[in-house]
Amino acid sequence: MTEKLEEKKGEEVVSLLQQQIKAEGKLIGLYEKTEQNVQSKAVRHLLHTIQLDSMKHIDICRTAIEILQGEDVLKEEKRDLREKLKEHVELEKGSIDRANKMLKNVWIKENKAVKELIEKLRGDEKRHTEALRKLTNKTFFRWDGMHDFINVLRDTEWEDERRRRLIESKKKKADRRP
């Protein structure tokens, strides 16, 4: 792919992400309005949780844009990130255990609406745990100015070595040219 075509595709996805941010913002406003006109506290709380999801979606889109535009994700924090997130994972696991205990309770078992809410809570906690595990174990990449993917969660020595090899490779290619 040519550089201009790659750039255009990048601009296209950023534009789509920006459009999604605007749509989520409108949804948040609609949920707020609807929430104000509803008498039931339970329904208001449910609408609020959906509104929070839209806020989360905005953050997801913003993060994607930042990574695509070359933001150096976690550069300063990557050395202790894994250690710091271990506590988060443990707390999330505790939340899953509590939800499992609640789901065994007869009051929860007999109330389908509450059971569904607790199952949703447990599902969210499971997703959080998995996301935290991926964040601590999976490698994340950003597109840098040399159009090379750079790993942002490994240690800086790995990144420095990777960059050194890339530069060396480019020099060898340049030396071979007539």
Q: What is the pLDDT of residue 76?
A: 52
The answer to whether 105 and 117 are in contact (CB under 8 A) is no
Report which of residues 114 and 175 the model is more confident about.
114
The answer to whether 125 and 99 are in contact (CB under 8 A) is yes
Q: What is the pLDDT of residue 156?
A: 47
Q: Which distant-in-sequence residues (6+ apart) come within 8 Å of 88 by Cβ?
A: 128, 132
What whole-number distance in Å separates Cα of residue 126 and Cα of residue 128?
5
Handedness of CA 8, 10, 13, 14 (dihedral sign): negative
- Would you kindly state where each structural domain of the chain is located, as residue ranges? 1-69
Report which of residues 171 and 158 the model is more confident about.
171
Answer whether 0.85 is exceeded by the pTM. no
- Take residue 2 and report the two structure tokens written for it: 């040519």
Q: What is the pLDDT of residue 55?
A: 95
Q: What is the pLDDT of residue 89?
A: 86
Portion of the chain with pLDDT greater than 70, in percent = 71
Q: Average per-residue pLDDT in the chain?
A: 79
Q: What is the DSSP letter of 153?
A: S
pLDDT band at 144 (very low <50, low <70, confident <90, very high): very low
Q: Cα dihedral angle (60, 61, 62, 65), rounded to 10 degrees? A: 120
Residue 161, CA atoms < 13 Å, CB-side half-sphere: 5
**Closest among 71, 74, 127, 76 to 99, alpha carbons compared:** 127
